């Protein structure tokens, strides 16, 4: 891999060729060399790595994701967050990965082309023409540096105010075609705080890169070879396999819908997590009643606009025929962000969720984390641990699952949520300022002490679901009801686990989750979109060998786990009652005979046996 090292303290850069399987493998190697495990998350000497996989520039679809590798402000260990299609433009620079260390004296943009690397000081612009936030800044950059974008067919990745003022900032990128934004072809590297790491650790507002370099390996252009690999494995052509394995994300004729939003509501039904996971405590009949309202008020408006009227489907900018970006009146719609600020916070009106998602997107924050945060605050107010005025609002949200008016209460909750979102950025309130800086886990412990006289049965941390790492690290789960989203895996908050609605003995569940973690880590390491996982996973060993001439190394997840242990940020026992109940209620939902959760010790035993089994699979028994 051709790796560009940028030292912002010395204003120097150099290019080094490094043998690495993929971008995450490179990132782990670099972080170990810089011994970042023993440093503060925002220490400028902690490297921020951003790069692509080895399959770019040829005839393979869905292989141009860019991946950020950073020490997460949330988990306090390595995290990985990818962004769709960006590699299709970034590969043109001829650089495979960027390693940033040091701290820029002024907020700056990094320009990378085949001819030059330039660091230019620039102030953030959060309002420009008809655009706001990261959209405004991206538009401003496109016009101010139009010659660079045009000459190098470049694309920008930027941070927003969420990265400047909170722990939860992400990276944002808009694809460009013929000098204009391709509406719908936008993407975020959402989870883990990549944007906060880039800005707070290095004072970088964005990276703009492009050029005319293409493939790194000649064989990515050999469509006959690619087709042969798939014919021999599946008995079908490459394109036939893609169409079959990705229909959920494009269009499923059996449901008449597509994309994660269109399909997930039809698939999960009463197993959808609602009201900050509070729904897990209620009978199926009541959850089904809520689900019927969600379909009518939340899913149908999207379905009618995107699949019946307009069929506005786009890609992220990758070479791809899936067109997973389903666009509602100019806004990209996916399940998790819209569910996070929709039914998960007690808001069943689609248009209201759209406004909230757009606001969080403008600020450049991870929507999933914001949804967890808002539902947590709503629940704390509902249970009288906080008063509305203490979080900068002047009304009580309606967060009672049994007495919820899906129309009137949704509008009310949406209006309150908007004020909380703005408060996280403006920090005009003591508690929201605390959360913006510290995140949910540390803040909950501070609030437990500050308001200890208000605590009866449940503490502040019992009203939110998160997995814990070390003393301060944590991450809230992707929005699925299954033990795997909070099980003691080394990387969570993404799909490196078994996130299905299932239950099993801890040893078995650890084996399932371990298998998914290995495959998901390799797919992302090679810059492949996980929507193509069903396409590439069965042929990954052979494809990698044929194209690169090397064997695929499957020890990546173990190396990540070893780093977390050195960083003192490995998984630790659940602190939240609701996180524990997420596991036991799925066991009950399925009438599983594999385990009984009757005492606290039963939860501890399941957790410990899962963790011991995972470490045994990884060969980590003697590593501490």
Helix (H, G, I), strand (E, B) or coil at 448: helix
- The mean pLDDT value for 422-440 works out to 96
| Residue 221 within any structural domain of the chain | no
Which comes out higher in pLDDT, residue 318 or 507? 507
pLDDT for 624 equals: 46
pLDDT of 2 > 90? The answer is yes
- The mean pLDDT value for 46-74 works out to 97
- The mean pLDDT value for 522-551 works out to 96
| Residue 57 within any structural domain of the chain | yes
Q: Which residues contact 32 (CB under 8 A, 6 or more apart)?
A: 563
For residues 165 and 306, membership in a common domain is answered with no
- The mean pLDDT value for 583-590 works out to 97
- The mean pLDDT value for 565-594 works out to 97
pLDDT for 49 equals: 98
Our count of domains for the chain comes to 3
| Strand locations in 170-213 (E) | 171-177, 180-189, 204-209
- CATH code of the domain in which 331 resides: 1.10.569.10
Question: Distance (Å, rounded) from C-alpha 24 to C-alpha 524?
Answer: 8
- The mean pLDDT value for 448-470 works out to 97
For residues 153 and 23, membership in a common domain is answered with yes
| Residue 141 within any structural domain of the chain | yes
Dump pLDDT digits (tens) for 149-197.
999 999 999 999 999 999 999 999 999 988 888 877 888 998 999 999 9
| Residue 451 within any structural domain of the chain | yes
For residues 605 and 502, membership in a common domain is answered with yes
User: Residue 622 — very low, low, confident or very high, per pLDDT cuts 50/70/90?
Assistant: low
pLDDT for 505 equals: 97
For residues 396 and 508, membership in a common domain is answered with no
pLDDT for 428 equals: 85
What proportion of the chain, given as a percentage, has pLDDT over 70?
A: 99
| Residue 441 within any structural domain of the chain | yes
Dump pLDDT digits (tens) for 303-357.
999 998 877 888 888 888 888 888 898 889 999 999 999 999 999 999 999 999 9
Last residue of a domain, one of 214, 236, 260: 214
67-71, 176-180, 215-219, 276-280: range with lowest mean pLDDT: 176-180
Which comes out higher in pLDDT, residue 179 or 401? 401
- CATH code of the domain in which 17 resides: 3.60.9.10
For residues 371 and 272, membership in a common domain is answered with yes
For residues 451 and 495, membership in a common domain is answered with no
Domain that holds residue 599: 483-618
Per-chain mean pLDDT for the chain: 96
Question: Distance (Å, rounded) from C-alpha 295 to C-alpha 308?
Answer: 16
Question: What is the value of pTM for the model shown?
Answer: 0.96
For residues 63 and 167, membership in a common domain is answered with yes
Dump pLDDT digits (tens) for 266-286.
999 999 999 999 999 999 999
pLDDT for 184 equals: 74
For residues 139 and 78, membership in a common domain is answered with yes
What proportion of the chain, given as a percentage, has pLDDT over 90?
A: 91
For residues 109 and 192, membership in a common domain is answered with yes
DSSP track, 501-529: S----HHHHHHHHHHHHHHHHHHHHTT--
* Cβ pair 550, 21 in contact under 8 A: yes
Nearest to 553 by CA among 24, 4, 96, 51: 24
For residues 494 and 430, membership in a common domain is answered with no
| Residue 460 within any structural domain of the chain | yes
What is the token pair recorded at 288? 């089904």
For residues 455 and 506, membership in a common domain is answered with no
For residues 455 and 587, membership in a common domain is answered with no
| Residue 185 within any structural domain of the chain | yes
pLDDT of 113 > 60? The answer is yes
| Residue 225 within any structural domain of the chain | no
């Amino acid at each position: 891999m051709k790796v560009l090292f940028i030292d912002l303290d010395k204003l120097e850069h150099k290019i080094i060729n490094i043998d690495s399987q993929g971008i995450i493998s490179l990132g782990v190697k670099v972080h170990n060399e810089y011994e970042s495990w023993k440093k503060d998350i925002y220490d400028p000497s902690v490297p921020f790595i951003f790069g692509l996989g080895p399959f770019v520039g040829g005839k393979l679809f869905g292989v141009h994701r860019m991946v950020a590798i950073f020490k997460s402000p949330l988990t306090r260990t390595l995290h990985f967050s990818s962004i769709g299609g960006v590699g299709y433009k970034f590969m043109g620079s001829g650089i495979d990965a960027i390693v940033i260390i040091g701290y820029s004296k002024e907020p700056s943009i990094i320009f990378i082309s085949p001819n030059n690397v330039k660091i230019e000081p620039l102030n953030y612009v959060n309002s420009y023409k008809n655009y706001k936030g990261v959209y405004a800044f991206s538009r401003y950059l496109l016009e101010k540096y139009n010659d660079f974008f045009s000459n190098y067919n470049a694309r920008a990745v930027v941070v927003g105010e969420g990265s400047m003022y909170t722990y939860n900032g992400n990276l944002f990128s808009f694809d460009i075609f013929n000098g204009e934004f391709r509406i719908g072809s936008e993407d975020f590297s959402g989870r883990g705080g990549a944007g906060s790491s880039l800005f707070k650790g290095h004072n970088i507002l964005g990276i703009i890169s492009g050029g005319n370099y293409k493939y790194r390996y000649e064989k990515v252009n050999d469509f006959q070879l690619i087709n042969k690999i798939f014919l021999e494995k599946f008995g079908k052509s490459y394109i036939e396999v893609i169409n079959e394995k990705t229909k959920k994300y494009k269009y499923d004729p059996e449901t008449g819908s597509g994309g994660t939003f269109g399909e997930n509501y039809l698939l999960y039904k009463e197993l959808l997590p609602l009201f900050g996971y509070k729904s897990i405590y209620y009978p199926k009949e009541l959850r089904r009643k809520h689900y019927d309202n969600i379909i009518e008020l939340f899913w149908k408006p999207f379905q009618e606009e995107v699949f019946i009227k307009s069929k506005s489907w786009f890609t992220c900018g990758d070479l791809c025929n899936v067109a997973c970006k389903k666009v509602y009146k100019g806004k990209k719609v996916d399940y998790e962000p819209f569910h996070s600020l929709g039914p998960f916070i007690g808001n069943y009106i689609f248009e209201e969720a759209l406004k909230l998602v757009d606001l969080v997107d403008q600020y450049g924050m991870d929507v999933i984390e914001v949804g967890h945060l808002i539902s947590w605050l709503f629940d704390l107010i509902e249970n009288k641990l906080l008063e509305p005025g203490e979080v900068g609002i002047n009304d009580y949200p309606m967060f009672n699952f049994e007495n919820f008016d899906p129309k009137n209460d949704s509008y009310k909750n949406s209006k309150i949520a908007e004020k909380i979102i703005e408060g996280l950025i403006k920090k005009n309130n003591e508690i929201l300022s605390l959360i913006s800086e510290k995140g949910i886990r540390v803040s909950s412990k501070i609030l437990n002490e500050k308001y200890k006289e208000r605590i009866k049965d449940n503490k502040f941390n019992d009203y939110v679901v998160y997995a814990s790492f070390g003393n301060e690290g944590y991450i809230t789960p992707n929005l699925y009801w299954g033990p795997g989203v909070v099980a003691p895996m080394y990387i969570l908050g993404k799909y490196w686990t078994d996130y299905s609605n299932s239950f099993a003995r801890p040893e078995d569940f650890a084996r399932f989750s371990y298998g998914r973690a290995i495959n998901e880590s390799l797919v992302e390491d090679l810059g492949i979109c996980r929507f193509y996982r069903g396409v590439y996973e069965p042929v990954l060993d052979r494809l990698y060998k044929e194209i690169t001439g090397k064997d695929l190394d499957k020890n990546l997840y173990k190396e990540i786990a070893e780093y977390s242990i050195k960083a003192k940020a490995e998984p630790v026992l659940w602190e939240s009652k609701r996180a524990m109940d997420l596991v036991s209620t799925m066991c009950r939902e399925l009438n599983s005979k594999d385990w009984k959760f009757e005492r606290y010790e039963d939860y501890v035993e399941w957790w410990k046996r899962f963790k011991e089994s995972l470490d045994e699979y990884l060969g980590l028994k003697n590593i501490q």
